[in-house]
Amino acid sequence: MGSVQLVLEALALVLGFLGWVLLGVSLPNRYWRVSTVDGSVITTSTIYENLWMSCATDSTGVHNCREFPSLLALSGYIQACRALMIASIVMGMFGLISTLVGMQCSKIGGENYVLKGRIAAVGGVFFILQSLCAMIAVSWYASNITREFYDPLYDGTKYEIGEGLYIGWSSGTLALIGGCCLLCSCKVTSKEEKVPYLHHTPRGAAFTPPAASRSQCSQYGRNAEPQRSIIIIIITIIITIITIIIIIITIITIIITIIITIIIIIIIIIINMNGDDRWRI
């Protein structure tokens, strides 16, 4: 078990956990966008919003917030950002669980380092998916803010980027680095470290016990090793099947995420062509 691998796995776990925590801080943060004071001489109130509510504060410091009353009445990009942020949290949770199970220093999952390395790789993929979902949501929201801010024909309230978006970008960056560290740690394991099982006698070669103990070999002693080998083979096959299923589920999740993103982009493009401002990006 190499020290480089341990350091990478520990670093990936810390970065992934920090990214997941920051994601949880960013999602309920009220300051995703804040009304700008650019060009205003006197500002009587400040409006700030996130994915769930709109708030206002006046010059006396009184805050008033209201949740968005209807899901279907929301802008399309806000609905998509909500879905992406929730998916990002779920991916991060799966990534943390997979990383804890797949770490070489963890006792969870036994001492099959080959399987643990694969599970750690799956955790790295989940961290990268978490980063992609968070980055897409935050960047999409920020692009709408900047588009409305620089649009001279836009007559509504103009906003600036709030602290919640910066927290989201930080979360995505940490998760991306953590996922890459996990994927890199899976490549530094040597063959000697992967399988710590007992050495088996090569096929076709006869096992010859020492002369002193040859007469003490019982029937159980002669049959114990083949039975143990069969059990190990069965357990290895079952673990391999479970690993393959996890990898397939991960691939399907990636494909579904890509398809949903493409569909949303196509719908937005079509609605933009029809002149619906609610879905503009």
Element (H, E) at 80: helix 76-102
pLDDT for 232: 67
Model confidence at 65: pLDDT above 70:
yes
Comparing 165 with 274, which gets the higher pLDDT? 165
Read off the tokens for 88.
């990002």
CA pair distance 138, 167, nearest whole angstrom: 9
Biggest alpha carbon distance in the chain?
102
Residue 89 — pLDDT band, cuts 50, 70, 90? very high
Q: What is the mean pLDDT of the chain?
A: 75
Measure Cα distances from 64 to 43, 57, 81, 156, 247 in Å. 16, 6, 24, 20, 47
| Backbone dihedral angles phi then psi of residue 248, each to the nearest 5 degrees | -65, -45
| pLDDT attached to residue 166 | 92
Separation between Cα atoms, residue 128 and residue 179, nearest integer Å: 5
Q: What angle do CA 175, 140, 183 make, to 5 degrees?
A: 20
pLDDT surpasses 70 at 145: yes
pLDDT at 42 > cutoff 70:
no
- pLDDT exceeds cutoff 80 at 216: no
- pLDDT, tens digit, for every residue of 154-171? 777 788 888 889 999 999
